[in-house]
Amino acid sequence: MKTTILTDIEGTTSSISFVKDVLFPYARDALPGFVRDHGGQPEVRRWLDQVALENGGICSDEVIVETLQGWIDQDRKHTALKALQGMVWEAGYRDGDFAAPLYPDVAPALRAWHAGGHRLAVYSSGSVPAQKLLFANTDAGDLLPLFDCFFDTEVGHKRDADSYRLIADRLNRSAGDILFLSDVVAELDAARDAGMRTVLLDRREDYAEPRTGDAANGHARVESFADIVA
């Protein structure tokens, strides 16, 4: 059976800077207007209510927006924030405010793996709709058709081995047939605990110091998708 490739996004297929310096500020600025215009829609309200609950119960939309903006500044990987960010980014992609830059080695590798019969899947803290938007709007074109499964924190935290066990179940693969790619060693540790193969993406643009030796914690390490052996 061909290895299924499961990839992270931020720091792996796209730079941390794109997420932190483009996507997050766009969401921060657009959130007040988005909540004002769409806060009454059930699929939006559901997430706003979750944020209110964490704030101790009923609070105004203004307080909810301020809470969400604070979470963006802290880079919290909260499922409600991620779901709302995905909805906000939709307008940004649609209006051409940004496209998603991939590292130049990513699209050729994804296309080659897909052509070679490997299944491709994504596991990111970004919501599944946000992941789909990103891969449909990359600077290398629409790569969405290459992927057949997407997972976000609704399956669990990325540093929890059970999340990877659940993903293997959902992919109908044994964990050993899945290769997980990430820039975060703690995520790779969790995937390895669940039985997956792992590769650390150690991008110089994102991490000034190479993470070799103990810093890679025994994970295979590459600086480019071109060097990954699927």
Ligand X SMILES: CSCCC(=O)C(=O)COP(=O)(O)O
138 contact choice in Mg ion, ligand X, none (CB below 5 to 8 Å, kind-dependent): none
| Count of beta carbons in the 10 Å neighbourhood of residue 41 | 11
Closer to ligand X by CB, 30 or 59: give it. 30
Q: Does 10 bind Mg ion (CB under 5 A)?
A: yes
Is residue 55 within 8 Å of 67, Cβ to Cβ? Answer: yes
Contacts to ligand X from residues 124-153, by CB under 6 A: 124-126, 130-131, 134
Q: Using the rule CB under 6 A, which residue among 3, 5, 6, 8 binds ligand X?
A: 8
Long-range contact pairs involving 199-208 (C-beta distance under 8 Å, separation at least 24): 199/228, 201/8, 201/11, 201/12, 201/225, 203/11, 203/12, 203/15, 203/103, 205/15, 205/17, 205/103, 206/11, 206/15, 206/16, 206/17, 207/11, 207/183
CA 133 to chain centroid:
11
Coil, helix or strand for 210?
coil
Q: Does 92 bind Mg ion (CB under 5 A)?
A: no
Binding segment (CB under 6 A) for ligand X, from list 77-85, 140-148, 203-211, 212-220: 77-85
Q: Does 23 bind ligand X (CB under 6 A)?
A: yes
For 105, the token pair is 């080695």
Q: Using the rule CB under 6 A, which residue among 3, 4, 5, 9 binds ligand X?
A: 9
Closer to Mg ion by CB, 49 or 205: give it. 205
* Helix (H) / strand (E) containing 82: helix 79-94
Q: Using the rule CB under 5 A, which residue among 105, 152, 183, 202 binds Mg ion?
A: 183
Size of the site for ligand X (CB under 6 A): 16
Residue with tokens 């996004």: 9
Least distance to ligand X from the beta carbon of 155, Å?
Answer: 12
Sign of CA dihedral 184, 6, 25, 223: positive
Q: Using the rule CB under 6 A, which residue among 5, 6, 10, 119 binds ligand X?
A: 10
202 contact choice in ligand X, Mg ion, none (CB below 5 to 8 Å, kind-dependent): none
Q: Residues interacting with ligand X, by CB under 6 A?
A: 8-11, 19, 23, 77, 82, 85, 124-126, 130-131, 134, 158
